[in-house]
Amino acid sequence: MLILVRHGESTGNAAGLLLGRLDAPLTDRGLAQARTLGPSMEGVTRIISSPLARARDTADALGTGLPVEIDDRWVEVDYGEFDGSPLGAVPAEVWTQWRADPDYRPPGGETLAEAGARVRSACEELFATEGEGARGPGAVVVVSHVSPIKAATCWALGLGDQGAWRLYLATASMTRISWGAAGPVLNRFNETPWSASE
């Protein structure tokens, strides 16, 4: 089982910012959200994280005692000059271009197609080394960000990169992809054991 965990709420999320590579720390609420996920980590044999602090701190807060491996392929999309902007301040034509074209590159940033390619590479590697018949039934946790987790979900469903625009993912949510004999199987998406009012 591949368990994809979106990091807990960060200061940038709480402020309503488009948050890519900026390394905003977790809020107290985000840390509490991450700790709430701990009991769901039973059977986990490996933890991988994005290099950004909000993901690494979430991985540590899960309390598994396992070493956290860093894999740069799970880092958030680089939003270029829009990174750190209030969501409402991003021009409407930019959102239109992003939604219409997975090869749209924000100035100084990364395309969704590029992000999708690196995430698919990471997923395929995990499927080959951890999947059914490879190393047994253990669960692998990857702590990442909204765009990479959406890209992994699209990979599991056989969708293109634009499928990400039709998915909503809460902070500190879990998405579960199992190792099916014929390929990945999406078991659960956007699972949140914490209360939205917390």
What's the CA gap between 144 and 87, in Å, rounded? Answer: 20
User: Which H or E element spans position 157?
Assistant: helix 146-157
| Active site annotation includes 130 | no
Task: Write down how long the chain is.
Answer: 198
| Active site annotation includes 7 | yes
Query: Which of the following is catalytic: 9, 76, 110, 130?
Result: 76
What's the CA gap between 173 and 165, in Å, rounded? Answer: 17
Long-range contacts from 41-44, C-beta under 8 angstroms, 24+ separation: 41/3, 41/139, 41/141, 43/1, 43/137, 43/138, 43/139, 44/3, 44/138, 44/139, 44/140, 44/141
What's the CA gap between 190 and 167, in Å, rounded? Answer: 9
Query: Which of the following is catalytic: 7, 9, 130, 145?
Result: 7
Q: Which residues are annotated as catalytic? A: 7, 76
